[in-house]
Amino acid sequence: MLYLPSKNKTMAVSIESTELLKTYFDGVLNRADHHAKEVEEVSLSLLGAVIWKSSDEIQVREVKEGFGNVLWFRTGGNRYALCYNHMTKKIELRDRSQQGETLEEFDNSTPSARVFEVFKNL
């Protein structure tokens, strides 16, 4: 399922295979290695948490260069976005969309137990 967001010309792509998920995550880690070392370790915990809690398709932003730094998922009838914030150098869990309310922030100092607790309660 593809759709065109109204505010920009990027597209969201549904993750329909582990190979596509791996390609997306490789891109996230490669970008983190160069520009966001503060979140490269917690990214693995977040990816596992998204796979665990997702009740529907997982979507990622597709941009001209590949995949972007936004991931959407649904659980418990609610939609969430994980977005990298360049100002705070943290990954934010947002309600409904990338412009939604920030529910939690994660970086490498966030313990796995905290990631587990946040996602368990979604």
Residues 6+ apart with CB under 8 A from 38: 89, 90, 107, 108
Q: What is the pTM of this model?
A: 0.77
Q: What is the pLDDT of residues 26-41, one digit of tens each?
A: 776 676 555 568 888 8
Q: What is the pLDDT of residues 28-76, one digit of tens each?
A: 667 655 556 888 889 889 989 998 998 888 887 665 554 457 888 999 8
User: What 3-state class would DSSP assign to 81?
Assistant: strand
Residue 70, both tokens: 């936004």
Q: Which domains does the chain carry?
A: 2-120 (3.30.920.70)
Share above pLDDT 90 across residues of the chain, in percent, rounded to a whole number: 35
CA separation (Å) from 111 to 41, 43, 68, 103, 121? Answer: 10, 12, 25, 17, 16
